[in-house]
Every structure is written in C-alpha cells, then in structure tokens.
Amino acid sequence: MAAARFLIKRGYDVLVTDLRKETELRESIEELAGSPVTFCLGEHREDDFRDAHLVVKNPAVKPGNPYVTAARETGAVVTSEMNLFFEHCPATIIGITGSNGKTTTAYMTARMLEECGVVEQTESKRQDAARKRIWLGGNLGRPLLDDVEKIAPDDIVVLEMSSFQLMDLDAAGRSPAIAAITNITPNHLDWHKDMAEYVRAKSAIFRHSAGTAVLNAECPITARLASHVTGSLLRFGLGETRDREIFIRGNCAVLRTRGLETTLFLVDDVRLPGKHNLANALCAAALAHTAGATPEAISSALREFRGVEHRLEFVRDVRGIRYYNDSIATTPESTIAAIKSFDCPAFLLLGGSGKGLSYDELSETIAASPHIRTVYVTGGEATRIADAIHSACRRHPDPKRALVVEPVARFADAVERSVRSAPPGAVFLMSPACASFYEYEPGKRFRNFEHRGEYFKELVASLK
C-alpha cells in the first residue's frame, strides 16, 4: 500500500488488484480509505495490465507471471516498491541479506549507527548530529517509501532485503552502496526455480555497486562470491585466518585492513546466546564501521542490544524451565543455530508447512546432541521431520540415550506437555525449521511467523 500512497501523491491514477478477496484485505483497504484509488479484488484482469503505463508488482510475484508479461508486451514499466525507494532515496543505503541472521544484523547495525550519533559527536557538532537520522526498514514490515520525502542526503538507511526484492532490484541494475550477505543456505526453493537462481538473487545486493561488500568467509557459498566483488571487500568469520578482515582473537573482534588492526568490540559485549549471534555482530560491526561508527559506539550498542522479537527470544521461566520463541526459524539451518546455542537439557518444537528443504542436516544435529531430550513435531511436515530424525538416530545409535520424538496434533499440546516432562534447568525451544502457513488448531491457521510467535508466547504466559 505504500507504493499506492506514493503514486497517488504524484498524480497517478492508481488501481490495486489482488487475487484475494475484500474480506481478506480489510486492513490494507482501510489504509487507503478516502484516497482516489480503484480496487479489483478476487481476480486479475489482463486488460488492466495491458492498459497500464506503470506496474508495481509485489516481490512475491514469480518471474514469468502472465499478467506482468502482458504489461511488458504493451510497453508498461514494471517495477517494485523497493525499486521505487532506491530511485527516490537521497541517502546512503546499507543493504543486508542472507538466509539467516539478516534481521538481527540489520537491527544491530542501526543501533550501532544510532549510538554513534551520541558517542562520537563533540559539542560543536551536536547540532549537525541531531539532523542526521538512521532509518531502519525493508523486509521488516515497515515501508520506508512512506518516509522517503523526509530522508535527507546525510542520513543513513539500513535495509533488510529478501531474495525476492533483490531479483527486482537486479533487473533495474541497482545495488546499495554498502552491502552484506550474512550467509547463504537452501531456502525458498518452493519459489526459486533452483539454488543457482537463489544465489544469483542474493548476490545482486553487491553486483551493481563499486562500494563495500561484507561477506561471510565461513559460508562456502558467500566465500566463493568474494571473487565477484568489484568494490571494497570485507570478509568476516569467527576464526582468525588470512582470508578474512574481521575475526575473533581471544575476547576481541578485530578489524585488519592495510596492515593495521582495530578492536571493534569485545566478545563479552554481545549479550545474545549462540555463535551465530557473534557472527551477526561481526557483520554488523563491519557495516557500521564502514558507515562511520566508532568502536566505542559499536561496543556500547552491543552491550545494550537484547535481540529482536521472535528470534531466540526469551519468553518466561516456568518452574525452572526457560521458554524461547524462535518463530523466525523457518529453515533447518536456523534451527540448527538455535540448538547449538544451548548445552542444557532441551525440548524442541518443530514443524509447520514445507519449503522444499531437506531435514537431513537438522536430524544429524539432533542425533549428535545428547542434551536434546524430546522433539515435538507438528504440522504438515511432522512426518517428514520425524522420519528424518529416526533415520539419523539409527545411523548413530546411542544405547545410553532415550530420545523421544512425539507427534502432536495441536501446537498447544507440546507446550502443555512440556511442563509435565521437562526438568528444572531445561529449555523449551520453539524453533520450527518450517514456514508457518498451516492449521495449529482445527480450522485455525497461522497468518505468518509473527502470529505463530505471539500465539506461543500467549501459551507460555498461561502456564502455571
């Protein structure tokens, strides 16, 4: 709807068309109440596309869509909300993508830059600092296109970017001035035609820029992409090797460039659990430092940063059992990272709707993690996940271990049973490894991962 508002302000005659019906889009329609806009809901009409001069498509619309093709055949310009933002934003843009960790990295980066406005400015520069703003948006639910007229040239924009958005941006030949890929693992293969297309979409974040690219040296795919960077390159990783500029040495996160070393922050500054969050902090520090943040600001921001909702979020302690909401974990790799964040007795809740991904590596991780006591599986992928875990356990038998894999018909059943089964000192980790579009109760479906996370927190809050 941000694109509709943006174009209405500029005098366009706007038609909004969606295959969903009015009852499903009530909130979005209300956002445009009183605006001069026409709706075509429940269907698409080819003539609308053939008559259009400009088509702004949703990023989820796949390449080759017949209606978009019809628009192009008659000479219409096809763009996206993100492309419109890039065309009109006057500020420096930092773009962050990756299969996992991009949201946390985006928030960390923005906090570091915001902190820099407080820490590094002297009294004589304080008035200028007050005018400089950090804008956080992109694939986070907040459309910055609504604010583009307020963004000043000296501001800094931090964007989380999806592979869908990047495919559109690639077609327009644009990339952010400063870019990062946290990692690349199989994801969205139910949408992309293959892994090669997915990787190409992700790498578009630096393809059309001579600026700075920040890449994960410990991810095999992003490590290979380093040879395609035409601008400055910063590679990060937890270990210290010659193939990376940012790394961990002892308790220090070190930046090494042009023979000089700078400590950006201390490992102890990072409050979030898990090595994956330490890697996220390295990536964010590289981005923020490139944009002008000082080590003091980076360290201060990390000490205060407590994470992002639905991302390994601590919910509550019930009878000594700690409950964590990791609803954002819609891939096996995300769940693996969450599992590795704990070494105490763990009870997992996995499952949901599929994305065409393999559960083999996740199952091997579970089989090799003796601290995992019980795995509850639910949703349409429950049988596939359970079968994969059983197969992994047969390949790695442990007579001293009694891992329980328990299917649950209702999402709530797992939470309710955990209070009776888990001992004090254990963690209950809802990290599904699957998408959220399925029935969690008969006749009730999750709308998205946020809905799933909120429902989980409600269930935990009701435990006694």
pLDDT by residue (tens digit) across 162-200? 999 999 999 899 999 999 999 999 888 788 889 999 999
The confidence score (pLDDT) of residue 173 equals 93
Give the Å distances, CA to CA, from 306 to 17, 63, 221, 296. 40, 38, 29, 18
Evaluated on CA atoms 447, 29, 190, 163, the torsion sign reads: negative
How high is the pLDDT of residue 50?
Answer: 96
Any idea what DSSP says for residue 269?
G
Mean pLDDT along residues 92-114: 95
Q: In this predicted model, which residue has the larger pLDDT, 331 or 117?
A: 331
* Mean pLDDT to the nearest integer, 405-415: 96
Q: What percent of the chain has pLDDT over 70?
A: 97
Token pair of 227, please? 């040879």
pTM: 0.82
Torsion, Cα 392 394 396 398, to 10 degrees, reads 130
Does domain 2-80 fall under CATH 3.40.50.720? My reply is yes
**Helical (H) or strand (E) element with 206:** helix 195-207
Helices (H), 217-368: 220-225, 275-290, 295-304, 332-339, 360-367
pLDDT tens, 262-293?
999 999 999 998 899 999 999 999 999 999 99
- Per-residue pLDDT of 10-25, as tens digits, reads 999 999 999 999 888 8
Q: Residue 171: enclosing H or E segment and its boundaries?
A: helix 163-171
**Dihedral sign of CA atoms 77, 81, 83, 84 in order:** positive
CATH class, domain 313-462, is alpha beta
Give the integer Cα–Cα distance in Å for 249 and 255: 10
Contacts of 250 (CB under 8 A, 6+ apart): none
Average pLDDT, integer, range 36-43 = 94
Give residue-wise pLDDT tens across range 343-384: 999 999 999 999 889 999 999 999 999 999 999 999 999 999
Contacts of 38 (CB under 8 A, 6+ apart): 13, 14, 15, 16
* Residue corresponding to tokens 């269930």: 459
3-state secondary structure at position 444: strand
Strand 346-351 vs strand 246-249: parallel, antiparallel, or unpaired? unpaired
Q: Which residues of 216-231 are buried (b: 16+ CB within 10 A; e: fewer)?
A: bbbbebbbebbeebee
pLDDT grade, residue 129 (50/70/90)?
very low
Residue 123 has pLDDT above 60, yes or no: no
Domains 83-304 and 313-462 agree in fold: no
Q: What is the dihedral sign for C-alpha 309, 315, 321, 327?
A: negative
Q: Are strands 178-181 and 134-138 parallel, antiparallel or unpaired?
A: unpaired
- Residues in Cβ contact with 84 at an 8 Å cutoff, skipping those fewer than 6 apart: 3, 6, 56, 145
pLDDT of residue 442: 92
Rounded distance between C-alpha atoms, residue 20 and residue 40, angstroms: 10
- Residue 93: Cβ-neighbour burial (10 angstroms; 0-12, 13-18, 19+): buried
Domain boundaries along the sequence of the chain:
2-80, 83-304, 313-462
- Quick one: tokens of 430? 């809802």
The end-to-end CA distance of the chain, in Å, is 42
Instruction: State pLDDT tens for residues 426-463.
Output: 999 999 999 999 999 999 999 999 999 999 999 999 99
Given a cut of 90, is residue 108 above it in pLDDT?
yes
**pLDDT given for residue 124 in this prediction:** 37
Handedness of CA 286, 287, 291, 296 (dihedral sign): negative
The tokens of 367 are what?
């089989």
pLDDT band (50, 70, 90) for residue 122: very low
- Write the CATH number of the domain with boundaries 83-304: 3.40.1190.10
Query: What pLDDT sits at residue 280?
Result: 97
- Mapping DSSP onto H, E and C, the string for 88-106 reads HCCCEEEEEECCCCHHHHH
Query: In 3-state terms, what secondary structure has residue 325?
Result: strand
- Contact at 8 Å (CB) between 166 and 201? yes
* Mean pLDDT for the stretch of residues 245-269: 97
**342 pLDDT above the threshold of 90:** yes
